[in-house]
Chain A
Amino acid sequence: MSPQRQSPTVKIDIGDGAAIPSKKDRGLFTAWWVAFVGAIVILGSLCLSYPDPYWRILAFLPDGIVVTFQVTLLSILLSLALGLVTGLGRLSQNRVWNLLASTYVEVIRGVPLLVQLFYIYYALGRIEAFSNLPPLAAAVLAMGICYGAYMGEVFRAGIDSIDKGQAEAARSLGFNRRQTMALVILPQAWRTILPPVGNEFIALLKDSSLVSILAVSDLLRRGREFASESFLYFETYTVVALVYLLITLVLSKAVSHMESKLNYYDRS
């Protein structure tokens, strides 16, 4: 636990979120600015030069953006909780917990998210107990459960990456297993875990567009509704894509900022 001992800086590359820019990666750093400024300039100039239809489309979307954020935030909270339990379970000596967690990961990762959404909303809807589940809750449940499995693997890898000596030192100082995990391992693992968690967060935001299949009025569904009435497919999906891009770019920047703040030992 002494500061002289550098903990290994392990990078976990899991997930399909946006690339997270860091100052070390000049190419990506510049690319972020190109994409961000480009998206704003294109969106802004389209809205200013052709208020009809572009401004009309943009004005149609805000409540969809709110729903997209609602789904994303609630799902991420659920998936973090599930991920922690699963990640610990995957490393646990407790056979039952370990098996449950591993099976959960195997099953969920083997079924496409879209199928899971259909399953939780429409298939389980036939069962009395689930038939009153509102679409938003079903969406959050499905996305949270799905990403919980991926998050579990991230947690597992992060916890695994902490040097064994840390646990041994804590145990020899009289910490019990739980204390070791909660007070020594997890706080350190968090730094390793954060980038891939941020990545999952961004991936989840993008995948939240799938919930439009449950008639949840998210950003994509609002766009589809607009396009299906106005027949302005090119214009509508251009705006929808730009809005998604802007949101994920801002988020990836935020994650990279958090990451550099947490990198005590790695400042250059």
Chain B
Amino acid sequence: MLQRAFFVVVLMVALGSQALAKEIVFAVDATYPPMEMLDANKQIVGFGPDIVRAIGKAAGFTPVLKNTAWDGIFAGLAAGKYDAVASSVSITEERKQTMDFSEPYFEVQQGVVTAKEAKITSVKDLAGKTIASQMGTTGYFVAKKIEGVKAKSYDEIGLAMEDLYNGRLDAVIADSPVASDYALQHPQYSKKLKLAFTIASDTPEYLGIAVNKGNAEVLKLINEGLKKIKANGEYDAIYAKWFQKK
């Protein structure tokens, strides 16, 4: 009996302390270096997670990062499995109809990665080629719209890069930081792959943090924090940490 009472007290304390520092759970698909990835200790690291942690510190909440597969990441948000998606989500009109977005935290273009010896320098050269991207990403939407190509969708961008590396694909389209990370930084892929070009777009593409429609409370905290870290230089420091030319 005493044991049970003790257990209840411990439980209450545990719950109480959680309530003090508000926890916000962010879903992250950690397969997208350098934006989001797992390090050797299975910790979620990258530009995105650093930004989220900094936002949390600035806005006074405890961010909890939850590694979630991209496929279904928005369904999980709608189902209330987490409060937000911070996983290099491009802000698009279609997505805005089902979710609310924070202020943009990054601008991306779509980068095209090819084999080093390939003679592909523009969208026109892609005609008749097999190109790929990650399913449900803006890269794949772009790939599908290019005329005369065979567009394939992969579960993870890494699998598409692997197939490109093995010569089964002609090109892979991904967010520019990710494309250049694979093509320029990766010790193995960079030997065989190159960042051929980036696809020019009429409208700039921004990444934002997605929350469920109407979740103003969380959105306000995120925007507050983002504004603060942009003002106090922390954002620039994180940016430099991940994207400074090495």
Q: What residues make up the interface of A, taking CB atoms closer than 8 Å to B?
A: 122, 125-126, 131-132, 134-135, 213, 215, 217, 221, 224-225, 227-229, 231, 233
Ordered by A's residue number, 12 sampled pairs between the chains whose C-beta atoms are within 8 Å are A122-B159, A122-B163, A125-B168, A126-B166, A132-B168, A215-B132, A215-B153, A225-B135, A227-B72, A231-B78, A233-B75, A233-B78
CB of B154 within 8 A of CB of A122, answer no
Find B135's partner among A122, A134, A224 (CB 8 Å cutoff).
Answer: A224
Chain B 145-187 against A: per-residue CB contact (8 Å), 1 yes, 0 no?
0000000111100011011001110000000000000000000
Contacts of B159 in A (CB 8 A): 122, 215
Instruction: Give 1 or 0 for each of B66-85: 1 = CB within 8 Å of chain A CB.
Output: 00000110110010000000
Which chain B residues border A132 with CB–CB below 8 Å?
Answer: 167-168
Q: Is B18 an interface residue (CB 8 A)?
A: no
* Binary contact readout B55-75 vs A (1 if CB under 8 angstroms, 0 otherwise): 000000000000000011011
Is the CB of B215 closer than 8 A to any CB of chain A?
no
Residues of B within 8 A of A215 (CB): 132, 152-155, 159-160, 163
Within 8 A of A (CB), among B93-126: 94-95, 98
Q: Is A225 touching B167 in the complex (CB atoms < 8 A)?
A: no
**10 smallest beta-carbon distances between A and B, as pairs:** A228-B136, A233-B75, A125-B166, A131-B166, A215-B154, A215-B152, A231-B98, A228-B135, A131-B167, A225-B153
- Asked if B141 is an interface residue, CB under 8 A from chain A, the answer is yes
The residue among A126, A228, A231, A233 with the most chain B CB atoms within 10 A of its own CB is A228
Q: Contact: B136 with A233, CB < 8 Å?
A: no
Task: Flag if A231 contacts B166 (CB, 8 Å).
Answer: no
Q: How far is the CA of A228 from the CA of B136 in the complex (A)?
A: 5
Q: Which residue of A is nearest B75, CB measured?
A: A233
The residues of A that contact B74 with a CB separation of less than 8 Å are 231
Residue pair A231, B153 in contact (C-beta under 8 Å): no
- A229 in complex: contacting residue of B132, B136, B160, B162, CB < 8 Å: B136
Q: For residue A233, which residues in chain B have a CB less than 8 angstroms away from its CB?
A: 72, 75, 78
List residues of chain B with CB within 8 A of the CB of A229: 94, 136, 141
